[in-house]
Structure formats: structure tokens, C-alpha cells
Structure 1
Amino acid sequence: MTVGAGILPAQSLEEVVRRTAAQHLLFPPGSVTVVGFSGGPDSLALLHLLGRLAPEWELTVHAAHLNHRLRGEESDADEAFVREICRRWGVPLTVEAADVGEVARRRGVAMEEAARQVRYAFLGRTAGQAGAATVAVGHNADDQVETVLMHFLRGSGLGGLRGMVPSTPLAGLRVGEGARVPAVVRLVRPLLHAPRSLIEAYCAEHDLRPRFDRSNLDTTYYRNRLRQELIPYLETYNPNLRAVVRRTAEVLAADHDYLVAEVERAWERAVRAQAETEVVFDLEAFRSLHLSVRRALIRRAISHLRPPLRNIDWIHVEQAVEAVQNADGAGVKAGLPQGLLLSVGYDTFSIGDVEQAGRPGDEYPQLPEGLTSVALPVPGEALMAAGWKVLTETRPRGALADDALTREHRWTAYLDGAVCGERLELRSRREGERMQPLGLGGRSKKINELMINLKIPAAYRSAYPILVGDAGTLWLPGYHVDHRARVTDGTTEVLVVRVERR
């Protein structure tokens, strides 16, 4: 690509882009970047500048243009302009057209949101086809101010108030139904710290004559009204408003990064199970966390279950946190957006599809659907429902340290192999069935009463697997070894039984 170079002012667009690219490692040497090229001032300046820097940065530039078909002949004229610029500069170009209005109607979203989804899906596809590491877009510092204010007025947490970031995974933007975005591609914003005035000055300096989208003047669009009416009004109170908002966003971005790391650690600690339709939390672990982390975990769970959902209202998050924190027993429920339901149990709570409410999930082991018993070979394994499995092996008594046998292992049982016998099975409880929990001196209790006292939810009890052998009940997995099957000084062979998630 060959474009002309001009004399740079003291604080030039090139200096801003160089600093941003270096600070955030936007363009790996030897990589390909796809530039979203609408033909407007921002994308025209970006394509021109990256073309000038490409030889030095060992960067291959590929342009991509989406005709949104929203402005009739003007949209077609934009496409023709883009094609001519790329032909003249020798830039490879990918062009697609999309009926954004139809997408908005079909998905039930606003026109701006539909355009965003379609545009990023297109850029992701183009990046995959071009083997690109990055997709570069022309968001500038003034766009950042508008974004932060929009999020503030909507009622957003740190994730929204930090605004846009210079680099983020493109796949994380959730670009709509059926979209396939390469996981390794990052969306980068080299102009994010450059005000619009600097970009316009760059275009004038290099005789770049961009296209102008007249719909940007239409104040029926929320962002346009904010840009043309609200921001100028606020600047009458503080002429430095834009700089103040940008600085605030940078401070909050650092705070957000710290919170994300804390939430990741909390997720590992507090989540017992997760699937496409449900996330199950440990109630005590969740309640012990800082309020900020609890809110973030709720938002993450909703986002996990409803990936297209971008805007989660504060009120829903707050209601969910309060429901969990104030629940004094099982049965508390709270509605959430997009057909989700929060349900509080004895020692867990779940967020899942409304239609799944009341059904067993996967936080407790369950017998395979339709079966009341499963043979358990020794050594070997038996598969349970929802990714659980039970494994067995035998070990000589002398091969196991005493502390291994006496420590509590919720999902591992050490049993006397001779007492257990040769025929083992995992089966459901029977009416009136009893066992002798270890530690009660041989006294027996009804298994159903044990399950109630252990707060195993009713929905899980009928299919909860119980280990049974020649001597009767041997183990209630996760809770009680039977007194008769305990390892004693006279034990010669130990049966080791483990329950795991696949």
C-alpha cells in the first residue's frame, strides 16, 4: 500500500496511535489486521495511517466494508467510494451487504444494535478468511465520551462506565445468533485516545476526503441526540467535560480489571456446577463474598446462560443478590431477564431456565435417567447422569497411610473389601431403608431422614445413588460411610470408591 506522508504536528494523530499501539501491543509484527472501513473520517484516517506504518510494523492491512442497505443510494455510493480508495491504495478489500432492518425485526432489537451485531459478525468472518490476528475499528476519544455517558444514563456498573477498551477479544462482543468469530481475533481501537478534531485535522493535512453519513445528524437516534444536545449542554457547566469523562473511564477501567480477576477466583470457589441451562452456586460461599463480587457473579451467570444479552439491568441484579442474601430457607425464587429464574435451595442456589425449574440439575450425583440401579465393577467404573461417574479400585491395607483413611473425603470412601463383598451396585433408596452412619456407634437411621437432615433437595433424593453390597448399605456418597463397612485394624484389603465429575 502506498500513501503519502505529511508533516506531523507536535501532537499528531500518528503519535497518539503509536503510543496506544505500543502500550497495548495492538499489532503483533508479521500479522494481518482487518480494518473496518466505512469511508467516514475515522476509518479513512485509520486505513491511511496504518498503511503508512505497515512496512515499519511488518503489518499486512486488509479492508472490510459492510453495506448496511439503510440509506439507499447513499449506502451504494459509500461502497463505491471504498472500492475506489482501496483500488487506488492497493489494499485488499472484502465487501458484503446486509439487510440490517430485517435483522432488527427478526431479532427484536433496535436498529443500532442490529447494525452492530451484523457488522462485528462480518468483521469476524473476514478476519478468519484473511488469517488476521486483529480487527481495527475507528472509535475515537469523543466516541468514548458518548459511550460512557450513555452507559451512565442507562445505569451501568464498572463494565459499562469504563467505556470501550483499546483491545478486547472480538468473540466476547456477542455478535448475534449463529455468528462464528475466531476466538483468537482481537478487536483493537488505535484511535481511542485521539479526539475527533485531531482526526479531522489529519484528513485535511493529507487531503483525505471522507464520506459523511447524514444519518449521524438524525436526533431520533439516542447517540446522536446525546452528541448534539446533551454534551454541548454539559460543557456549559464544565468546558473540560470530555477530558474529565475520559480520565474517569481510564480510572474505572483499571478498577474493573482488578474486579474481573477477583470475580474469576470467586467463580471457581462459589460455583458448584454449570451447564448451558443452569449455574449452581454454593450458598455459603456466595454469601461470604463482598457485595461487589456477588453482583458481578450474578451478572456473569446471566451472561453465561444468555450470551446475546448485553444489557443487564441493575434492578434485576440487585433483586437477585437480595433474594440470595436474605433467604432463610429453601424455596425462595426470583425472576430474571430472558426467561431465567433464580431458585434458592438448602445449601445452594441456582440460576437457570424457567422451564427447568423444579427439575434435578447436576449439582448432585444422579442415577442414569430411567434406571433404579447400576452394577459397579471392581476395579472399574459406572457412569451416572449429568457427567458424574463412580470409580473403584482395591488396595492392600498396608499401602494406605493411616491419615488417608481417617481424613474426611467427601467424594472418596475407604471401605473394608471383605465386608463389601464381590457384588456391588449403585441404586436408589428404598422405602424405610436404614443404614448405620459411621460415628454413631452402630445405631441406624432411615436413609430418607438422613437425606432430609443433610438438606439434599427433594428433587434429587429418588435418583441419588447409594452404594450397596453383600452387607447392605455401604456408603451414602458425599456424606456417610456405613459403620459395618469401615476400615479396621483387621482389614487386609481396602475398597476405594471415588465419585467424580467427568
Structure 2
Amino acid sequence: MTDVLNQVRRTIEAYGLLAPGDGVVVGVSGGPDSLCLLSCLLRLREQYDLRLHVAHLHHGARGADADADAEFVAALAAEWGLEVTVEQQDVPALARAHKLAFEETARRVRYAFLARVAGEIGGHKIAVGHNADDQAETVLMHFLRGAGPTGLRGMLPLTPITDYRLLTPFLHQPTNQLTNQLTNQPTNNPPILIRPLLEIPRAAIEAYCAAHALTPRFDRSNLDTTYFRNRLRHELLPLLETYNPNVRARLCHTAAVVAADYELLAQLRERAWAEVVQEVNGLREVNGSREVNGLGKVNGSRAIVFDKVAWRTLPVALQRATLRQAAYRLRGSLRDVDFVHVEHARRVGLTGETGAQATLPMGLALTVGYGTLTVGDAGDAGPPPDEPLLWSAEPLPVHLPGTTSLPRSEWTLQAEMLEEWNAAQIAANPDPWTAYFDADALATPLVLRPRHRGDRFRPQGMGGHSVKLSAFLINLKIPRAWRDHVPLLAAGDEIMWVCGRRLGEGVTVGPGTRRVAHLRFERTPFTLTGETDNAT
């Protein structure tokens, strides 16, 4: 027979689930798993100097049975001298309101409840009673749903609670208040969800309860095969055991192997991320760290931009991994993102022409642009415009004469001085990306830069009146996602050209002009590094 307590101790040590002095919120339903878990942690309390707090959530279903469960847990905690929090939520009503399945809603509400209790008591860890049979069922469910490596890892022995997108809308307090609570722990980290029973079979847990005179509550809903997990547990797994009696252990073994391989993939993904990501939520990626864009804040477009050429050279596994990471960073969850979604987006990103899109779950889409792949809100901005965009947060010096290369772009700004010119041709210039200036009226030093907070602009033809640049760009109907990337020709705070849109007041060619500065944007061949290719 499995020595449950020693196996729990080995799991704790192998994965570093507990540290001396930890405050642990123990989720207790009253069933055999949670009773075994609480009993083992109580027996290990002195060894690890633990502060244990019992938490039980009444789901507002199952009537008198659920009432009796709550009373049982409260009485047990009192008998064992442990603090306890018991709370009730109307999970069926929440499921209807949020159009979620009951099982999914119950899981989200339960974890949100445990997270809140941990925040209130200063808990470091949240212990739950998932066992080896639960792990086998989870891996099989994920396999049937077409999961990739992330899902085939199954449940992990420890997981940051922030990895679960379940803090809203199922909390009594605003999410930002809870986040402050969770991040203001004595450890300066949010609590960790731990699973000390994950390597112990259900049969061994039930035997432990019998040996220690623990009488679990019985949840009859676990027999209801209208729920997918119950059907898999009571029908599919017994059938598979006729092919391989050790199928549950084999599924757990598969999860462990995939989890180990996934650690390597995650390391490679982070290296690739630093190489192919241009911008994250308005923050420019520079050697894996982030620099704030010209606005000095994260913009509202909620987009991640990849260097298309560099991304397309990645191995297939890393293409998939970076797309999943983009979805995770933007939405905080991958629960609805299956392999089929990622693979479709990968194929569009690999072969799609400019403007092609692939829809992802949770309101996201991948859009193919000129030199970029953008993962962001579906329908928020459409593909990047076919025009020069400035991905650099740093000002780029503009020399007269000279060439300025726009980083990670196919575009350069060519600048030359004209001693002779045709005023009529200048006045009739049809190209918005070509501009003529009175060279002596230009302030210096000239730079190309993105917009800054508080920028104002004096458009030509408005008698020197200045307007907020933000309002000017909105009036031009430039999508929000691209406003931070419109190149501006400026010197200090003075903007002399909103490139491609309007010249500034006082710098245009006139009767008194002695020299003309001619500036034009040109598209050039694009290399892997994003620098222009000047080879002849």
C-alpha cells in the first residue's frame, strides 16, 4: 500500500511546494482528497512551521447536501483547532449570467475565492487535493480536445495563481484591490497553487482515509455522466483499461515527460521572443527588455508586433510557442486557445500576404503587415498601413543632406538640398510622402520621432494656431494602434511635418526662400535584421 504521508513529503521536497513558515490556505470540500490533504498537512505542520487555514466554498447547488458539506468542514476545522472561512456563492446563476458551463464557472469561482482568502490572511500557498487519477483524466481530456504541449503537461505541482484568468468577474471586491492584496504578501509574490497529492492514486487516498478514521462526504454529482469529466472517468477510462490496465499511470508518465520537455521549449521561446518581438502593448522590445514608447505609457491597442522576416525563420515549434505567448500576454489565459487555433494563425503568418488575418479566441486576431505580424484585438486596427511607420522610441537624427533608415522597416528618409527649384511643381506636389521646406526656416537639430505626451502642432494654413497632436491624428482617422508610430519631423518640441499628412506653419517654400530642403520617403530592400540593404 502507498505510504501516503511519505509520498506527500517527497512531492513537497521534489517540487519545493512548501517553505518554512508558509501560510497555507487549504481548499476543503469534505471529500476524500481534501480530507487526506488536510490531514497530511496537519501532520507536517510542525516540520514546516505551517500556518494552516481551511477554506470551503458552498456553490449554491445540491441543496441540503451542500449545506451539510459546509457544516461538516466548519465542524472539522473547529475540532482540529484550525481557522476556517466558509462562503456561499450562487454558481448556477453566475454560470447563466456569464454564459459559462457550470463546471467551468465553479472552478473559476472556487479559485477566485481561495485567492481572496489567501490575500486576506497573508497566505503564501493555496493547497488543493488533485490526485494522480485527476491528472490522468486531465491529460486525456486535453488530448481529446487537441491540446499541444502546454495542455498535455496536465496539472503542475505548483502554479502561480495569477496564471489562472479567474479573478474577475467572480470577486466581491475590485480586481485591482485583490491584485494589490495578492502582490503585497510577505514574500512580495502572489500565492502559489500547490498540489501535494498529485502523484498519489485515488485508491491510496481512500485507503488512507479509512486507515485514519476519516469519513468523507459523498458528492453524488460526481456520478452524473452529463458532465464531460465524469463521463470520461466512469466510461472511457475503464474502457481504455481493458487495453492497458496501467493506462492511468501511463497518462501521468506522459504528462511528466511533456512537462520536462516544455521547460526547454519555454527557455527557447524566451530567447526567440527577444529576437522577433518589436513591440508589446506600446512598449518597444530591446534585447528582451522594454522601453516606453513616445507616449510614456502603455497604449490602448493591446497589440504585440513581431518582425515578420525573423519570425518566419523560427522553427515551427517556436512559431507556435511565440503565438501562444502573445495570446497569453494579451489576455492572461490560454484556456480557450487550442492547437487548431494556433496552427491556423501560424500558417497565415507564414504564407499570408499583407492584410491577411487569422482569428484567434478571446477576441484576438493575427494580422500580416509589411514586415510585421501583429497579434491584437480583432478588428481594432486592421493591417498596418502601407506607409512608413516609426518603431523606434528614440529620436533618429536627420541630416541635410543624408539618408535616415527607419529601424525594422523597409523605409528610408532621403534628404537633399536644392539650389534650384520650380515653385509651381512644389505647390502641385501630389506625393504626401515627399515634402519641400524653406531650409533656412527649419529648426535644428532635426529628428524623426514618434509623438510625445502633450505634443502640439501648428498645421499649415491655420494662421499659426496650434492644436493638440492627439486630436489632429484622431481627426485624420488614423487608427489608434498606429498613432504612436506616425513619424514626425521635429526639432525639440516644434513639429515641422506630420509625415505623410501635413506640413507645419512657417517652414513652407515661399517667395523669399533662398534654399529648399527636399525630403522624401523611399522603400528599400528589407533584410533579416531589419536594416536597409545598401549593397550595390
TM score, norm. by length of structure 2: 0.69
Equivalent residue number for residue 3 of structure 1:
none
Equivalent residue number for residue 428 of structure 2:
none
Moved more, 179-188 or 11-20: 179-188
Distance 1:119 1:323, change over 3 A: same
How far off is 1:270 after superposition?
Answer: 1.2
Q: Please show how residues 36-435 of structure 1 align to structure 2 within 5 Å.
A: 36-178=27-169, 179=175, 180=178, 182=182, 183-275=189-281, 277-308=302-333, 310-327=335-352, 329-358=353-382, 388=393, 390=395, 410=407, 432-433=434-435
How far off is 1:467 after superposition?
Answer: 4.2
Looking at structure 2, the residues matched to 325 and 17 of structure 1 have their Cα atoms a distance apart, in angstroms, of 46
SS of aligned partner of 1:93: strand
How far off is 1:478 after superposition?
Answer: 12
How far off is 1:100 after superposition?
Answer: 0.8
Distance 1:49 1:286, change over 3 A: same
Distance 1:208 1:113, change over 3 A: same
Equivalent residue number for residue 499 of structure 1:
none
Partner of residue 488 from structure 2, selected from 457, 461, 465: 465
Looking at structure 1, the residues matched to 343 and 310 of structure 2 have their Cα atoms a distance apart, in angstroms, of 18
How far off is 1:316 after superposition?
Answer: 1.8
How far off is 1:75 after superposition?
Answer: 0.7
**Contact 2:337–2:360 (Cα < 8 Å) also in 1:** no
1:413-440 per-position Cα deviation (integer Å, ceiling 9, x unaligned): xxxxxx9xxxxxxxxx9564269xxxxx
**4+ long deviations beyond 6 Å:** 363-366, 406-409, 457-462, 468-472, 474-480
SS of aligned partner of 1:35: strand
**Contact 2:164–2:332 (Cα < 8 Å) also in 1:** no
How far off is 1:227 after superposition?
Answer: 0.5
Which consecutive residues of structure 1, in runs of 5 or more, have no partner in the other structure?
1-8, 367-385, 393-405, 412-418, 420-428, 436-456, 481-502
SS of aligned partner of 2:44: helix
- The one-letter amino acid paired with 1:136 is A
Looking at structure 2, the residues matched to 461 and 96 of structure 1 have their Cα atoms a distance apart, in angstroms, of 47
Distance 1:316 1:472, change over 3 A: farther
Distance 1:342 1:359, change over 3 A: closer
**Contact 1:410–1:478 (Cα < 8 Å) also in 2:** no
**Contact 1:37–1:82 (Cα < 8 Å) also in 2:** yes
**Contact 1:100–1:115 (Cα < 8 Å) also in 2:** yes
**Contact 1:132–1:185 (Cα < 8 Å) also in 2:** yes
Distance 1:346 1:309, change over 3 A: same
Looking at structure 1, the residues matched to 303 and 407 of structure 2 have their Cα atoms a distance apart, in angstroms, of 24
Looking at structure 1, the residues matched to 348 and 383 of structure 2 have their Cα atoms a distance apart, in angstroms, of 20
Which consecutive residues of structure 2, in runs of 5 or more, have no partner in the other structure?
170-174, 183-188, 282-299, 398-402, 409-416, 418-430, 438-478, 497-506, 508-514, 525-536
Matched residues, percent identical? 46
Looking at structure 2, the residues matched to 52 and 476 of structure 1 have their Cα atoms a distance apart, in angstroms, of 76
1:27-61 per-position Cα deviation (integer Å, ceiling 9, x unaligned): 11011111001111000111111111101111111
Looking at structure 2, the residues matched to 33 and 220 of structure 1 have their Cα atoms a distance apart, in angstroms, of 34
- The one-letter amino acid paired with 2:22 is S
**Contact 1:364–1:460 (Cα < 8 Å) also in 2:** no
Looking at structure 1, the residues matched to 192 and 12 of structure 2 have their Cα atoms a distance apart, in angstroms, of 13
- The one-letter amino acid paired with 2:24 is T
Looking at structure 2, the residues matched to 248 and 462 of structure 1 have their Cα atoms a distance apart, in angstroms, of 46
1:240-272 per-position Cα deviation (integer Å, ceiling 9, x unaligned): 111111111111110111111111221222111
Distance 1:308 1:168, change over 3 A: closer
How far off is 1:234 after superposition?
Answer: 0.4
Q: CA-atom RMSD, angstroms? A: 3.3
Looking at structure 1, the residues matched to 29 and 517 of structure 2 have their Cα atoms a distance apart, in angstroms, of 71
**Contact 2:20–2:50 (Cα < 8 Å) also in 1:** yes
Looking at structure 2, the residues matched to 430 and 285 of structure 1 have their Cα atoms a distance apart, in angstroms, of 30
Looking at structure 1, the residues matched to 225 and 273 of structure 2 have their Cα atoms a distance apart, in angstroms, of 42
Partner of residue 23 from structure 1, selected from 2, 6, 14: 14
SS of aligned partner of 1:355: coil
**Contact 1:466–1:476 (Cα < 8 Å) also in 2:** no
Looking at structure 1, the residues matched to 20 and 485 of structure 2 have their Cα atoms a distance apart, in angstroms, of 60
Looking at structure 2, the residues matched to 227 and 287 of structure 1 have their Cα atoms a distance apart, in angstroms, of 42
